[in-house]
Structure 1
């Protein structure tokens, strides 16, 4: 689970393949290109969609998988997949294969996912702020200046919070 504070991650223990796979299903969403016309943005992948992503490449990779087997992996019923299936799952979710077998790699992937989520959240807020500023009649230059001030204020607040917590600045962790 990701905390509200940027740079602060409450990373769950992912001590099984099932837990690691479920984390990906919980946090990685279909791209707009993968969504159908009636699909809701931000929804979770289905087992079938991940199986389809893997099976589309089966001519090239020689690896196929069923949605039922993915469900078994997620539930922990099946817990020792072939290496080719682990690679295919990593490719389908666009993560490093090490995520499934190495704790350090899993932590890095989880931190990257949390950072991407935060960036998406900030972008949505920034677009909303831009619209509000434009609606108030500010010029494009003034709107940009206010946005920069908000971002700098946020960075200063985060820096102060990190110093108080004794956490090194981002990029040094």
Structure 2
């Protein structure tokens, strides 16, 4: 049931604190969880969960973690829920970059044909830079 729990917990921590140098330790993170939710998870136990050393958590602890990270509890054990949340996290991460936000804001209001042309240019730039293709479930096919 919780086979991927540690990976998903680490992904949430990385999404919340993308700069590894500024990422809090487990003691500080446990304190933030307590302050934010009122629930308690010790720093040691949080580390054990994040490293896969422990997987036995209560529903209350699951709810506390889900509340703190702003995800549904199913995120930790349901692949479809995790995929939806991960897509949202990826978007939020991309929007942290001011240039990405500026592109999105400036594209607002353009015709569908112009948006398709811009998507084609961005996809070609990614291909030239040997970046992986970006799959978005709600992306319309050009010309559709």
Deviation digits for residues 110-150 of structure 1, max 9, x if unmatched? 000001112222xx126889xxxxxxxxxxxxxx9xx459x
Which structure 1 segments of 5+ residues have no match? 1-13, 31-39, 130-143
Query: Once the 2 structures are TM-superposed, how far is the Cα of residue 105 of structure 1 from its aligned partner?
Result: 0.6
95, 98, 107: which one pairs with 2:71? Answer: 95
136, 144, 157: which one pairs with 2:118? Answer: 157
Counterpart of 1:53?
A: 32
74, 80, 101: which one pairs with 2:56? Answer: 80
1:170 partnered with 2:135: no
Could you tell me the TM-score, scaled by structure 1's length?
0.56
Contact map agreement 2:66 2:72 (CA 8 A) in 1: yes
Could you tell me the TM-score, scaled by structure 2's length?
0.66
| CA distance, structure 2, for counterparts of residue 55 and residue 66 of structure 1 | 9
Counterpart of 2:5?
A: 17
Query: Once the 2 structures are TM-superposed, how far is the Cα of residue 79 of structure 1 from its aligned partner?
Result: 0.9
RMSD: 3.8
Query: Once the 2 structures are TM-superposed, how far is the Cα of residue 80 of structure 1 from its aligned partner?
Result: 1.7
Deviation digits for residues 45-81 of structure 1, max 9, x if unmatched? 43223311332233xxxx3111111000011111121
Q: Looking at CA atoms only, which structure, 1 or 2, has the larger radius of gyration?
A: 1
Counterpart of 1:7?
A: none
